[in-house]
Amino acid sequence: MEEEQLKVIWNKRPIIISGPCSAETEHQLVQTALQLKAEGQVDVLRAGIWKPRTRPGNFEGVGSRGLPWLQTAKSLTGLPLAIEVATAKQVEEALKADIDMFWIGARTTANPFSVQELANALKGVAIPVYIKNPVNADMELWIGALERVSSAGVEKIGLIHRGFSAYGNTHYRNVPMWELAIEMKRRYQDLPFLVDPSHICGNRHLLQEVTQNAIDLNYDGIIIESHIDPDNAWSDAKQQITPAQLTDLLQKIIWRQDEITSHELHELLEDFRQQINKIDDEVIQLLSKRMKLADEIGHYKKDHDITILQTKRWDEVLERVSHMGMQLGLSKEFVIHYFNAIHMESIKHQDAVMNRS
Ligand code: PEP
Ligand code: MN
């Protein structure tokens, strides 16, 4: 890709990357690319040729055979190409085949050996490298991967949020845990941050909602799977959509501006923010007061040899606050989560009083 085009792609907001989960046949890949081009919504064509499947026996990608198909798709559509790379050899082959953008998959990000091998192979490449979050909700692994790739001198690094695997049945294939993504965005404000609604949802019916959620959180772009015949896709069939459905989805998205341009709006928002700051101050002061009481209780428990944890009492507290919270318009889930954190801090305080003083 020419430097100028690379710059355009890198800076485009929102950047839209789409294409099949896997390249299956030349026909399927090229037709998907042509349809995407005709729809006119997509900046970059994605396709997996090396597929890290969780279990053996699933379709593991067409491998290097797919590289010339990608070239054909690019020459017919002009769309730059993005693929997943997981080994040094793949990087080498893909660079020779003029791939324009790489992403590191969630299973790879979870393995520092693989990431280091990749980082060494990527030394100084000019093309963008996007790092997906690891499959498990471990920010340090994600950050570690970022540091390894960055230390290899790769300058164009972006992040992709594709959700985190969870045990048992969940609404999503990979739970978004937006709070982790928000924290990552806060820490690395200069890096492009994309969302992958396909792998979060696992099901095309959820895509619209999750993509809107992400746009409302000010993501820089979307990587989303599309296929000419989604139901018969060789991998991730349930979550893929046709290029026409992609257009429909993107047209239904409400795009919001990330800056407040009007002076009046700005003042109004500033006023709300001041009110929120004031309440936050009060919350912190009340929490500190509550912890001081916990310290007092710690002294009492120490003097009378009573355990820190009193399950019945804790039950009572949760019952009381979740009931009250619900009456005041707070979700039970939030109240319990919040009070669990308070309780743990309270236990720490009492432990300090009883065992460390
Ligand atoms: C993919 O993008 O097709 C893929 C395998 O994603 P992930 O690494 O997020 O599972
Ligand atoms: Mn996929």
Residue 22 Cα: closest atom of ligand 1: 3
Taking residue 318's Cβ as centre, other Cβ atoms within 10 Å add up to 16
pLDDT digits (tens, 9 = 90+) for 28-66: 999 999 999 999 999 999 999 999 888 888 899 999 999
Atom 9 (ligand 1): residue with closest C-alpha?
106
Can you give the C-alpha Rg of the chain in angstroms? 25
Structural fold of domain 263-354 = Chorismate Mutase Domain, subunit A (1.20.59)
Within the chain, which residue ranges are assigned CATH 3.20.20.70?
A: 3-252
Within the chain, which residue ranges are assigned CATH 1.20.59.10?
A: 263-354
Residue 199 Cα to ligand 2 middle (Å): 6
pLDDT digits (tens, 9 = 90+) for 146-182: 999 999 999 999 999 999 999 887 899 999 999 999 9
**Which bound ligand lies closest to the C-alpha atom of 161?**
1
pLDDT digits (tens, 9 = 90+) for 209-245: 999 999 999 999 999 999 999 999 999 999 999 999 9
Average pLDDT of the residues of the chain? 96
d(CA 61, CA 135): 20
d(CA 180, CA 138): 9
The helix or strand, by DSSP H or E, that contains position 115, with its residue range, turns out to be helix 112-121
Grade residue 260 by pLDDT with cuts at 50, 70 and 90: confident
Q: What is the DSSP letter of 232?
A: G
**Hey, which of 22, 162, 164, 238 would you mutate to test ligand 1's pocket, going by the most ligand atoms within 8 Å of its Cβ?**
162
Contact call for residues 153 and 123 (beta carbons, < 8 A): yes
Tokens of residue 131, six digits: 């790092």
Contact call for residues 268 and 320 (beta carbons, < 8 A): no
Q: Is residue 173 within 6 Å of ligand 1 at its C-beta?
A: no
d(CA 128, CA 139): 21
**Matching residue, tokens 């970059």:** 44
Structural fold of domain 3-252 = TIM Barrel (3.20.20)
% of the chain exceeding 70 in pLDDT = 100
d(CA 201, CA 206): 6
Task: Compute the half-sphere exposure of residue 38: CA atoms within 13 Å on the CB side of its CA.
Answer: 11
